């Protein structure tokens, strides 16, 4: 049994999707991020970074893993699925996984901060992070032109990137002009395990249908958690 500490965010959903795809038994513990549960000492013992997601593998002497990319690798290797064993195949998957961890995630995360949550509208910062997200989307689109998935068969690289790209509207970045990316977003979104994973836990914001008013209400809730450089609080991605 695996304990999953998570919330309804792209980084959290990467892990629940992988657990569903691998059919691994797990218990979901949803952390109330706005209440700062992730900064409590008991959770810092599991993840010193005080963020979700994190897992504890009860079958392995309560072995704890934090950082969503490392969790995906751990789960894939534990099951021998979603990550090839041969050196080149493995490297290709890890390249696209790192592309998400070092690129898509941080850029879209900051686009969200400046477009949705930051108290002041700093247009150059919004432009920078939305523009960089779009550039990275173009890289994915070009890759997916002649590849069904990002690296060989469906893998943890697809799961990691998909969990973020599907939330592109929240970051204010359109993908209408990127047909290969759209095709891939729709195909992965149709997988039963993926549909189940994004409900673990379910988001209170419907990214597709939220009106501007609903979006503003949700952003207001998250705002208090965002690092502005003044409060000493840590930020949300």
Ligand X SMILES: N[C@@H](CCC(=O)N[C@@H](CS)C(=O)NCC(=O)O)C(=O)O
Residues that bind ligand X (CB under 6 A): 9, 11, 33, 38, 50-53, 67-68, 225, 234-237
Nearer to ligand X, 18 or 236 (CB): 236
Nearer to ligand X, 47 or 130 (CB): 47
Q: Least distance from C-beta 16 to ligand X, angstroms? A: 13
Give the CA distances from residue 118 to residues 121, 225, 237, in Å, rounded to whole numbers and listed in that order.
7, 10, 12
8 Å CB contact between 236 and 170: no
Q: Least distance from C-beta 131 to ligand X, angstroms? A: 21
Give the CA distances from residue 177 to residues 3, 99, 109, in Å, rounded to whole numbers and listed in that order.
40, 21, 22
Nearer to ligand X, 11 or 130 (CB): 11
Nearer to ligand X, 69 or 84 (CB): 69
- Nearest 5°: phi and psi at 57? -95, 105
CA distance 218 to 205: 7
- Alpha-helix residue ranges (DSSP H) falling in 82-178: 87-99, 105-112, 123-143, 156-165
Q: Least distance from C-beta 220 to ligand X, angstroms? A: 16
Q: Least distance from C-beta 53 to ligand X, angstroms? A: 6
- Nearest 5°: phi and psi at 207? -65, -30
Nearer to ligand X, 38 or 203 (CB): 38
Q: Least distance from C-beta 231 to ligand X, angstroms? A: 12
DSSP 104: I
Nearer to ligand X, 38 or 81 (CB): 38
Give the position of tokens 């419907």: 206
Q: Which residues pair with 28 in a beta bridge?
A: 4
8 Å CB contact between 136 and 79: no
Q: Least distance from C-beta 237 to ligand X, angstroms? A: 3
């Amino acid at each position: 049994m695996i304990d999953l500490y998570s919330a309804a965010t792209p980084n959290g959903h990467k892990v629940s999707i992988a657990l569903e795809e691998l059919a691994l038994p797990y218990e979901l513990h949803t952390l109330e991020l706005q209440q700062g549960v992730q900064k409590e000492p008991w959770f810092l013992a599991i993840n010193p970074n005080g963020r979700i997601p994190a897992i504890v593998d009860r079958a392995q002497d309560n072995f704890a893993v934090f950082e969503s990319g490392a969790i995906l690798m751990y789960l894939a290797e534990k099951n021998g699925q979603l990550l090839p064993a041969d050196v080149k195949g493995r490297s290709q998957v890890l390249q696209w996984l790192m592309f998400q961890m070092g690129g898509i995630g941080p850029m879209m995360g900051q686009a969200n901060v400046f477009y949705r949550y930051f108290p002041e509208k700093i247009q150059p910062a919004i432009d920078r992070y939305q523009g960089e997200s779009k550039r990275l989307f173009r890289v994915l689109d070009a890759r997916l032109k002649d590849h069904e998935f990002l690296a060989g068969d469906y893998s943890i690289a697809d799961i990691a990137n998909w969990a973020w790209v599907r939330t592109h509207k929240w970051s204010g970045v359109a993908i209408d002009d990127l047909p290969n990316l759209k095709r891939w977003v729709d195909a992965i979104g149709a997988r039963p395990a993926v549909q189940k994973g994004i409900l673990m836990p379910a988001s209170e914001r419907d990214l597709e249908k939220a009106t501007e008013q609903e979006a503003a209400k949700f952003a207001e809730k998250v705002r208090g958690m965002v690092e502005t450089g003044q409060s000493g609080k840590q930020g949300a991605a």
